[in-house]
Amino acid sequence: MFIGIIALAEGCKRLIEINLSGCPLVSDNSVQALAENCDNLRSVNLAYTNITDEGAYYLAYGACGPKLQVGLFYCSHRLSSPPHFFFLLSPRLLY
pTM: predicted TM-score of the whole model, two decimal places: 0.78
Residue 12 φ/ψ, nearest 5 degrees: -120, 65
Q: Supply the pLDDT for residue 67.
A: 74
* Contact criterion met (CB below 8 Å) for 24 and 51: no
Per-residue model confidence (pLDDT) at position 80? 57
Looking at residue 38, its amino acid is C
Q: What is the pLDDT of residue 11?
A: 95
pLDDT (0 to 100) of residue 59: 81
> Taking each helix axis from N to C terminus, what angle separates 53-61 and 28-37, rounded to the nearest 10 degrees?
0
- List of the chain residues with pLDDT < 70: 1-2, 63-65, 74-95
